[in-house]
């Protein structure tokens, strides 16, 4: 886990790419580096070690990597997915993490957490189908999907980890997650 600053609001970051030089991981790291005082961004490393969700495994002795994922998200106030798109949807590694976080049904670690999603792809669409699918899946899993907390950024004509305007759009998503308060019933 990467932790940059200490403070009150904690955002668990799920990176949807395992690639060593992942653009989306670099976006997540840039957001860690520029996190405002009072905000901690935790990049949840180790998603590759989380086995594919299997209700048989989700028993008394949950696999260590899955238990660690749940614990880290349980400690967070919000969850931010930073992900590319694979074949028109979110990568399996992110989908799998959401599945683990969705159980026990109704009481998964993601339940009630503010959820946002950002990412970049080298296409004109920036991964928007993956991002829409991640929002839908996280919402069904029990997260509080923050409608405006989504940015699908094309990486075709801009350096998405250096451009100040792009980084500000990503940062605005973090800010929206931190500012989120559940509506009283």
Ligand X SMILES: Cc1cc2nc3c(=O)[nH]c(=O)nc-3n(C[C@H](O)[C@H](O)[C@H](O)COP(=O)(O)O)c2cc1C
Q: Given the rule CB under 6 A, which residues bind ligand X?
A: 17, 19, 22-24, 84-88, 121-123, 125, 127
* Residue 142 three-state SS: coil
Smallest distance, Å, CB 14 to ligand X?
Answer: 12
Smallest distance, Å, CB 141 to ligand X?
Answer: 22
Q: What are phi and psi of 134, to 5 degrees?
A: -65, -40
Q: Which is nearer to ligand X, 127 or 142 (CB)?
A: 127
CA atoms of 152 and 147, how far apart (whole Å):
13
Smallest distance, Å, CB 52 to ligand X?
Answer: 17
Q: Which is nearer to ligand X, 56 or 87 (CB)?
A: 87
Q: Which is nearer to ligand X, 108 or 127 (CB)?
A: 127
CA atoms of 128 and 98, how far apart (whole Å):
18
Residue with tokens 């959820």: 115
Q: Which is nearer to ligand X, 18 or 168 (CB)?
A: 18
Buried b (16+ CB within 10 A) or exposed e, 140-170: ebbbbbbeebbbbbbbeeeebbeeeebbeeb
CA atoms of 7 and 178, how far apart (whole Å):
12
Smallest distance, Å, CB 156 to ligand X?
Answer: 10
């Amino acid at each position: 886990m990467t932790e940059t600053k200490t403070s009150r609001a904690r955002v668990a970051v799920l990176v949807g790419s395992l690639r060593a030089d992942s653009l989306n991981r670099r976006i997540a790291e840039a957001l860690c580096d520029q996190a405002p005082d009072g905000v901690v961004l935790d990049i949840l490393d180790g998603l590759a070690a989380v086995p594919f969700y299997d209700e048989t495994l989700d028993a008394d002795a949950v696999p260590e990597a899955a238990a660690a994922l749940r614990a880290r998200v349980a400690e967070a106030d919000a969850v931010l997915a930073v992900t590319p798109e694979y074949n028109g949807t979110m990568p399996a590694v992110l989908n799998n993490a959401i599945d683990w976080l969705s159980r026990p049904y109704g009481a998964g670690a993601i339940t009630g957490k503010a959820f946002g999603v950002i990412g970049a792809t080298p296409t004109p669409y920036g991964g928007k189908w993956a991002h829409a699918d991640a929002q839908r899946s996280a919402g069904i899993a029990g997260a509080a999907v923050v409608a405006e907390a989504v940015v699908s950024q094309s990486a075709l004509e801009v350096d998405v980890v250096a451009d100040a305007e792009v980084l500000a759009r990503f940062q605005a998503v973090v800010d929206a997650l931190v500012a989120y308060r559940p509506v009283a019933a």
